[in-house]
Amino acid sequence: MTQAVLEVSNLGVSYYTDAGRTRAVDGVNLTLYAGERLGLVGESGCGKSTMALALMRMIKPPGRIESGSAIIGDEKDRVDLLKLSEAEMLQARLSRIAYIPQGAMNSLNPVMRISSQMLDAMKAHLPKASNAELMERAEESIASVELKRSVMHMYPHELSGGMKQRVCIAIGILLSPKVIIADEPTSALDVVVQRQVMETIVRVQEKIGATVILIGHDMGLMCQITSRVAVMYAGKLVELSTVREMFSDPMHPYAKALIASLPSLENKGVFRGIPGLAPSLLRLPSGCVFHPRCEYAMDVCKTTAPQQAVTPSGRYVFCHLYDEHGNKAPNTPLTKAQPVTV
Amino acid sequence: MRLGYILRRFIFLVFVIWTAATVLFFIPRLSRVNPIRERFAALARSTGYMPADLDNIIKNFELKFGLDKPLPQQYVDYMGSVLRGDLGVSLMSYPKTVVQLIGEALPWTLGLLSVTTVLTFLLGTAVGALAGWPKSPNWVKSMVTPLIVLAAIPPQVLGLLLIYFIAFRMKLLPMAGAYSIGVEPGHLTVSLILDVLKHAILPAAALIIAYIGFWALGMRGMGVTVQGEDYVLFAEHKGLKQSRIFYWYYVRNAILPQVTSLALAFGGIIGAGILVEVTFGFPGIGSTLGSAIASNDYFVIYGIGFITIFAVGVSMLVVDLIYPLLDPRISYERK
């Protein structure tokens, strides 16, 4: 499980709007290992989906990928997704990296049968394969997401929301991609179906040995499904930890606040929000982008952006409270005094 | 349930036609213009002859055509004869029947209007589809604007401009008519076909230029909506080629309302070109109706109105019946 399959470094995406340049994703570093499930969380507009679209090379004007690399594959076959030509990227989509969309309700063409929508996806990548061969593969894929074979001959409007989401998953795994990005795959479903769909994703992922990036808000779902969690804030990845570490000992103040905001069985009825609002990406605060909302903010936070700290166990954190090895830095509110409760 | 649906739809169609025909029956009767008096006035204008006891003659003709009876009685009589397939006679071109008049004019109108309607639909839809597609070059996207400006100008006004510049000033094409004077349009020969085509270019151009913006705007509007749909984005995520996405995900979905409009446009074919036909002296239904209205020739107005209503009603029925073939979400099977 230590083989890296996707190495994202210094990924930067900006949108050029009339009001100015917004850095939707800013200097994100991320390494994904074979077969793991990584959760990507953060509030709306923090750049989760933009990052996913950047990896698919689907950022549309006025957006632009401005920096970085995303190397996918093992030693035998490594490519930088961000340096592929348009034609090569067309081939890479679905075969190297697949995307399971957020709005599965609407993600299937209403006037085409499911089978045609699976076949055209495969034909775009395997032009020489025979129809019978492809049909067999499609049926196998449909069976692996626990849908009946008859679904293939139906139109999207004849399926329920959960079934449509399963069809999208079945399409996503058709070509056994190395990496699957699931962008809030359960956001439009009720809780029972959510769980079933999540279990389906886990099962097919394990079957084809893919790595999954799961984007979402639902921390509860994340902690059940994923092995590591990355927290994004205002376009930056602020902390990356294992699920256990993230929930028991979050390092970044934003991650701390996020975990503290979850309702728990012990503190029934007590909710702690995060004060303030996410900043506009057009006018980011100076220094550390989180400092105006941070209860541990120091003077240095207002002027200097923190550098990445990596702990011996491999956690990333961007915060002045820690030194470059992730140890608590001396003379910070964390070490000096009790935090001020808000 | 399909048969039941068709039957219900058909009964509705009959009801629509009957209602419209009833309204149509009474409208020309509101006018004070007496078609028989008009006929004699026309005769007097061309020959200088005016019968002495005109009022008496008119009364006799009214007796002959049943126009002396009370209006409700006339209505019942007329509806009865329509049911028997008899649309009556023309008061102005007596003894020609309305069916004969329509039979002479209809092929010209159908020929001109069906070709222009199909061409306009194809061109306009293609321009609209390209204009709504985000990856089109900017000059393609901005093509819709001048077409909308042209769509705001009535086709008969465009016709006058075309006649003035192309036919009169440049003398490139004939000014009016459907064929040259002295040509007998009975026998199909190559020279006749060429002559007819040459005469049809200007009226066709007026209609195409005037209506293409309508199709382009409709398609672009739908296209802009569809190109942002999740299924188009997911198609890109699947790694499909642009051409596949364009035709099978984008155009295929955006074109659905255009098909409805096309069928309705076909239903309205008879009425769409009336003023253009009059402008170009084109011997179609439009010109016939134009002169019938001028002289209040009741039965010709009724007859042409009736087939227009019939065509609209039938094409609406056809749209409803073919729609399930285009859009699987629509079905008449009772679940």
pLDDT digits (tens, 9 = 90+) for B89-110: 887 777 888 899 999 888 889 8
Separation CA B142–CA A323 (nearest Å): 56
Is residue A37 within 8 Å of residue A202, measured between CB atoms? yes
The reply to whether B285 falls in a domain is yes
Task: Answer yes or no: do A226 and A158 share one domain.
Answer: yes
Tell me, yes or no, whether A167 and A93 share the same domain: yes
Q: Which B residues 62-121 touch A at CB under 8 Å?
A: none
Residue A342 lies in a domain: no
Residue B320 maps to a domain: yes
Query: Could you tell me if residue B282 is inside a domain?
Result: yes
Nearest to A306 by CA among A281, A283, A332, A341: A332
How far does B253 lie from chain A, in Å, by closest CA? 7
- Domain range enclosing B267: 98-326
Final residue of a structural domain among A231, A258, A289: A231
- What are the pLDDT digits (tens) for B53-84? 778 888 888 888 878 888 888 899 888 888 88
Residue B221, domain CATH: 1.10.3720.10
Give whole-number Cα distances, A110 to A104, A116, A307, B224, in Å. Answer: 12, 11, 48, 17
- CATH number where A178 lies: 3.40.50.300
Which helix (H) or strand (E) segment holds residue A231: the answer is strand A228-233
Which range is least confidently modeled, A1-5, A119-123, A201-205?
A1-5
Give the span between the Cα atoms of A46 and B146, in whole angstroms.
42
pLDDT class for B185, splitting at 50, 70, 90? low
Mean pLDDT throughout A42-52? Answer: 87
- Check whether residue A140 and residue A43 sit in a common domain: yes
Name the band, by pLDDT with cuts 50, 70 and 90, for residue A337: low
Which domain does A309 fall in, by range?
A: 250-336
The answer to whether residue B260 is domain-embedded is yes
Question: Does residue B31 fall inside a structural domain?
Answer: no
Structural tokens at position A260: 């503290």
Query: B29 in a domain, yes or no?
Result: no
Structural domain contains residue A245: no
Please state, in angstroms and rounded to a whole number, the distance separating the CA atoms of residues A31 and A49: 17
| Residue B266 banded pLDDT, cuts 50, 70, 90 | confident
Across the A:B interface, residue pairs with CB atoms under 8 Å apart total 77
Is A186 inside a domain boundary? yes
Q: Verify that A28 and A122 share a domain, yes or no.
A: yes
CA closest to B329 among chain A residues: A157
Residue corresponding to tokens 């069916």: B99
Our CA-based measurement puts residue B144 at a distance from the nearest CA of chain A, in whole angstroms, of 22
Instruction: Please check whether residue B236 touches A, CB under 8 A.
Output: yes
Is the minimum CB–CB distance between A153 and chain B shorter than 8 Å?
no
A103 to chain B, any CB pair closer than 8 A? The answer is: yes
Lowest-confidence pick of A284-288, B184-188, B298-302: B184-188
Residue A336 pLDDT grade (very low, low, confident, very high; cuts 50, 70, 90): low
Structural domain count of chain A: 2
Query: Is residue B335's pLDDT more than 50?
Result: no
Q: Are residues A109 and A192 in the same domain?
A: yes
User: Is position B28 within any domain?
Assistant: no
Which of A180, A197, A231 lies at the terminal end of a domain, its last residue? A231
CB A94 to CB B329 under 8 A?
no
- Residue A244 maps to a domain: no
Within a domain: A96: yes
Q: For residue A239, is it within any domain?
A: no
Helix A161-172 to helix A114-125 angle (10° resolution) is 20
Q: What whole-number distance in Å separates Cα of residue B225 and Cα of residue B221?
A: 7
Q: Considering chain B, what percentage of its residues have pLDDT values greater than 70?
A: 97
Residue A237 belongs to some domain of the structure: no
Domain presence at residue A181: yes
Same domain, A143 and A196: yes
- What is the largest distance, in Å, between two alpha-carbon atoms of chain A? 70
What DSSP character marks residue A322?
B
Which DSSP symbol is given to B97?
A: B
Report if residue B80 sits inside a domain. no
The total of structural domains in chain B comes to 1
Same domain, A184 and A299: no
